[in-house]
Chain A
Amino acid sequence: MITKLKQTCGSGVTALTYSGQNYMVVDRSLIPELLHVLRNEEQFDYCVDITAVHYPKREKQFDVVWVLYSYARNERIRVTTQILDGESLPSSVPIWATTNWLEREVYDMFGIKFDGHPDLKRILLPDGWKGHPLRKDYSILQQDKEWVQINLGIESGQ
C-alpha cells in the first residue's frame, strides 16, 4: 500500500513502524488528497480518532494524528502531519462524519482550526473560555479566572 501511495503522493510520505504499529508521517500539503485516497481507495472507512501533540520547541509546533481503521482489511494505521502554530487543516467531516466532534475537541484543546468544518466551536470547555489547555505552555494551574469570576461568581476555582 505504501509503495502505491508513494507513487501517487511522491516523497512526502514516510512509512514507519513502532512497537508493531504502522504509521506514516506525511507533508501537510498532501493531507487532503491522502485522506481521500485512504478512505475511498484503501477502504479505511472508520476514523477512530483525531488528536494532536504540542511540541513548543519545534518550528512546526503541532503533530496532528489521525487513527484510521479498515473493517475490510482489519488493519489500523496512523497518519501524522506537522503544522505550524496558526496553520489550519482541511476538515475531514465530508470524508468521515464522526470527525465532527473529534475536530471540535482538537480545536478546543489545541486551537487548531479545520477549514470547512460545519460548526467549529468549543465542545468541552465553555464558549467564552480563553486559551487552549492541552498546549504545553498552558500550565496545569492556569485557569481562565475572568470566566470563573463572571460566570460562577467566585474569585478563583483553584
Chain B
Amino acid sequence: MTDSQSSLSNLDLEAHEKPFLDSNELVINMGPQHPATHGVLRVILRLDGEKVLGLECVIGYLHRGVEKIGEHRTYTMFNPYVDRMDYVAAVSNGLGYCETVEKLLNVEAPPRAQYIRVILTELNRIASHQLWLGTHALDIGAITPLFYTFRDREEILKIYEKYCGARLTTHAFRIGGLQYETYAGFEKDVRNFLTFFRPKIDEYEELLTTNRIWLERTKNVGKISGEDCIALGVTGPVLRASGVKWDVRKAQPYANYKNFDFDIPIGENGDTYDRYLVRMAEMRQSVRIVEQAIEAIPEGPVLAKIPKVMKPAPGEVYHSIEAPKGELGYFIVSDGSTQPYRVRVRPPSFVNLQALDLMCRGQLVADVIAVIGTLDIVLGEVDR
C-alpha cells in the first residue's frame, strides 16, 4: 500500500541528519496481522538494535464509519451498533449511549433499572479486565492466567446470556431503562458469582503478583507520569496507575453510582506493574459495588415512559461514563427529527493509544508488546 512510504518518511523527518546507510537504525513493521496487537494495529518501529527510538501507529483497518451510520439510523436503531465498538465491554458502551439520549429526551431511567444497569456494567468491567489480564499475561509469556480468567469470565457471560440472550454484544439496555425484567433467579446467580469470584482474584494474584518473571517483565516498563497522562488525555486505569485519583464515577457521577461506597485504586510509578495492580484492585471494587447493588435493588418498573417515536428537541449534549478502558464520551446533536444529526464517540482506546510512542521510547522491542497489552486497547473502538 502507498501509505507505508509516507508514514516512514514522517518518522525519518526527526531532525538529525543521517548517512545513506545507517547501520545503527532499523525500521521494522509490526502488524497489522500480529497476535499481540489485539486486533489489526500496525506499528512502525524505529530501532537502534533492540532499543526503540520511536514508533508510529497506523490505524483504521477496522473503520466501519459508525458515526456516519448513526446519522442514518433512528435513536433506537443505532443502539445495537455501539456494542460493536468496544466489543469486550459492550454493556458499558450501551450505558453511555442510552444515558446520553436520555439526557437529550430529558427522561431518567427508573430506580430499579438504574440498579440493574450498575450491576451489569460492573460485571462487564470485571469481564473486560479478566480478558485483559489473560491476553496481557499471554503476550508476556505466562500462559496459565488465560485459562483461569476465561473460565471465570464464562460465569459472567452465562448471566448475560440468561438475561438477554447474548453473550458478547449484549444490547442489554434500552433508552429509558431496560427492555427486560430480570429472569427468575437473577439475584441468586449474581450472588453465587460473587462468592465464586472473590477467591479467584487471589488466585490470579498468586500466579503473578510476586512471580519473579512477571516482575522483571513489568516493573519500570512503559512508564508514564501523571502530567504526561493529562497532557495526552489518557484516562482510565492507565491514568490512575500514574497516581492521578480520577474516575468519572466519582468526579461526575452518572447512573446511580453516588449511592455506592467504593474506592478508586491508584498506583505510584505509572509502570506496567502498577497498571496491573490497579486493574486487579478495580475488580475487587467492582465486586464491592455489585454486592451493595444486589442487596438494594428496589421493586418497580424497569422502563421509563418514553415516546415510541423519539424526537428529542434540537440541542447538543456531551455525556461520558467510566468505561473499563477510560472515559467513554458521546456527543450527540439533535435537530428535532427521529435521527441524530451527528453522533460523535470519544473512545478511550483511541486517545490512550496515542501515548504508546512516549511509553515505548527507550524500551526494548519485547516491551512494546507489554505496553500495548497494558494500555488495554480494543481496535474495534480505536477505529470505529
Contact = CB atoms under 8 A, between A and B. Distances in A.
Contact of A49 (B67, B329, B341): B329
Nearest to A65: B331
Contacts of A51: 331, 342, 344
A39 to B, nearest CB: 10
Contacts of B71: 140
B28 to A, nearest CB: 20
A71 B331 contact: no
A21 interface: yes
Given A19-B104, A124-B63, A67 B331 contact: yes
A48 B67 contact: no
A112 interface: no
Interface string B35-75: 00000000000000000000000011001010111011000
Contact of A98 (B318, B333, B354): B354
Contacts of B69: 140
A65 B333 CA distance: 11
Interface in A121-158: 121-128, 133-134, 138, 140, 151
A48 B329 contact: yes
Contacts, number: 101
B119 interface: no
B261 interface: no
Contacts of B67: 109, 134
A27 interface: no
Contacts of A100: 354
Given A21-B317, A45-B230, A53-B341, A126 B3 contact: yes
A67 B318 contact: yes
Contact of B252 (A18, A74, A96, A133): A74
Interface residues of B, number: 44
Given A53-B342, A140-B68, A19 B106 contact: yes
Contacts of B350: 101
B162 interface: no
Nearest to A119: B10
Contact of A19 (B230, B244, B252, B317): B317
A67 B317 contact: no
A49 B347 CA distance: 9
A123 B331 contact: no
Nearest to A53: B342
A51 B346 CA distance: 9
Given A45-B230, A76-B318, 17 more contacts: A46-B230, A46-B233, A48-B327, A48-B329, A51-B342, A51-B344, A53-B333, A67-B318, A67-B346, A98-B351, A100-B354, A109-B67, A124-B383, A128-B3, A134-B342, A140-B71, A151-B2
11 contacts: A49-B344, A53-B342, A71-B246, A74-B251, A97-B231, A98-B232, A98-B354, A119-B10, A121-B6, A126-B3, A127-B3
